[in-house]
Each structure stands twice: as structure tokens, then as C-alpha cells.
Chain A
């Protein structure tokens, strides 16, 4: 069995400030990790993913996440946030043979303020 923990339910931050959204996972096998973003009343959009190789993965809009196997973490970071980054962010995990059956964390609401 696998699980995902997102400790922060809400993260308020001022525009242009850095932000980190925390994600820890638990699994007995090798994992694939994802971050999804959800805007109000919409589905989820893939932000970035870790499958293998470089432990630092980046998205096209400035987010990055680092896979840390020893700490079983996959924290999401952005050095300078914008108002448009306000959304719900979900960390998710699956494993080889998981067949895309994702286990989601409870989500973190990022609220960017002026």
C-alpha cells in the first residue's frame, strides 16, 4: 500500500515571494511521483512528474520539485509566485505496475496575495 501526506492544507504567500508545498509519501516499492494543480471547479492539470533519472524536475511555469528518496519527499517549490498561481495543488504517487492508479494527497491550497 502507498500513501501521500501533504501536511499543509493552506499556504498563504505574498506575490513574488518563494513558496514550498510539502509532500511526503510512503511506499514499499519504487514510486512515480506527480504534482497536479486544480483551479476552482475544474479538473486536474499535470504540473510535473518524477519517473526516474534526475531527481530535480521542472515545469514550464517555474515550479520545480525534488525527489528525495531518503526523506521520502517530493516537495514543490517556486522562487517567485504570481497571483495566477493561486490554486489547489495535489501530490500523487503510483508505482510500477500500478497502472496509473494514483493515490492523491489531501491537497494544499496556495493563496497568493498582493
Chain B
């Protein structure tokens, strides 16, 4: 089945530093990827939609200068948390849709998430 690889699975960084999270579709192409943030015991909140070769679309309230998204190829999207602060600590999950299947109803394939801890 379709696999989305997300790295790193865990990262601890100091306040003020930047962290990059990678999301790769291993056996399919994804023109669109999604980045979610999940707080403990809460649902997934969509942060942004990453589009290959163009700018990401951010949800309301998400700081685009803080959460930089790059989708330079059909199999890779990156999320960079810039100048991280303790309140950015969270579980970040990416997902991707197989472009070859087209919509409708093709399911999103999720990465295993990245646990970010900012000290």
C-alpha cells in the first residue's frame, strides 16, 4: 500500500532554533500534501495545504513565516518551524493524496508524525 515517510519521528530542540520535518511519499506522487498539528488528546488541526511547485495555503491563524512549507518535488514536502518556542511543542503529522488516483474519495495517506519538544 501507499506509504508516507515522515522524519524525524522525535526531535528536541532549544528555544530559538529551527527544525525541519520531512514528509515523503515513497511509492506514489503527491501534488498535494497536508500538514496537521495535534495537541495532546485532541483532534488534528489542519495547518496548511502544500502544493507542489507553488506556495502553500495556510489556514486561518497559522503564521506562515513561522511554519515554512516547501513542496519542491512530487514526493517531498518539508515543514520548517522557525525560531521555535516551547508553545510550538506538539505532534505534527503530514498526509498526502495519490495524484494518480484523482479525486474523489482517494484516501489520504498519513505519516507517522513528528513529536517536537522545544526546551
Q: Are B110 and A45 in contact (CB under 8 A)?
A: yes
Which A residues are CB-close (under 8 A) to B104?
A: 32, 51, 96
Minimum distance in angstroms from A52 CB to a CB of chain B: 8
On chain B, the number of residues with a Cβ less than 8 Å from chain A's Cβ atoms is 27
Knowing A41-B113, A43-B110 are in contact, say whether A99-B43 is a contact too (CB < 8 A).
no
Closest A residue to B10 using CB positions: A41
Q: Which residues of A have CB within 8 Å of B34?
A: 100-102
Contact in complex: A102, B113 (CB < 8 Å)? no
Let me know if A7 is at the binding interface, CB within 8 A. no
Q: Does B62 contact A (CB under 8 A)?
A: no
> Which partner residue on chain B sits nearest A4 by CB separation?
B43
Pair B113/A42 contact, Cβ less than 8 Å? yes
Across the interface, do A43 and B42 meet the contact criterion of CB distance under 8 Å? Answer: no
Name the prevailing secondary structure of the A interface residues. loop
**B78 interface residue per 8 A CB criterion:** no
A107 and B103 contacting across the interface, CB-CB below 8 Å: no
Closest CB in chain B relative to A33 CB, distance in Å: 10
Instruction: Bits for A80-111, please: 1 = Cβ < 8 Å to B, else 0.
Output: 00000000001000001001111011110100
Interface positions of A (Cβ within 8 A of B): 9, 32, 34, 36, 41-46, 49, 51, 90, 96, 99-102, 104-107, 109
Report yes or no: A41 in contact with B43, Cβ–Cβ below 8 A: no
Give the contacting residue for B32; candidates A45, A100, A107, A109; CB below 8 A.
Answer: A100
* Secondary structure type dominating chain B contacts: strand
Which residues from A are CB-within-8-Å of B41? 9, 107, 109
Within 8 A of A (CB), among B27-67: 32, 34, 41-44, 46, 49
Rounded to whole Å, the gap between the CB of B62 and the closest CB of chain A is 14
For the complex of A and B, 10 pairs with smallest distance between CB atoms: A43-B110, A51-B105, A44-B110, A46-B107, A104-B43, A106-B43, A43-B112, A104-B44, A100-B97, A42-B112
17 contacts between A and B (CB under 8 A): A36-B110, A41-B112, A41-B113, A43-B95, A44-B44, A44-B95, A45-B110, A46-B107, A49-B105, A51-B104, A51-B105, A96-B104, A99-B49, A100-B103, A105-B43, A107-B42, A107-B43
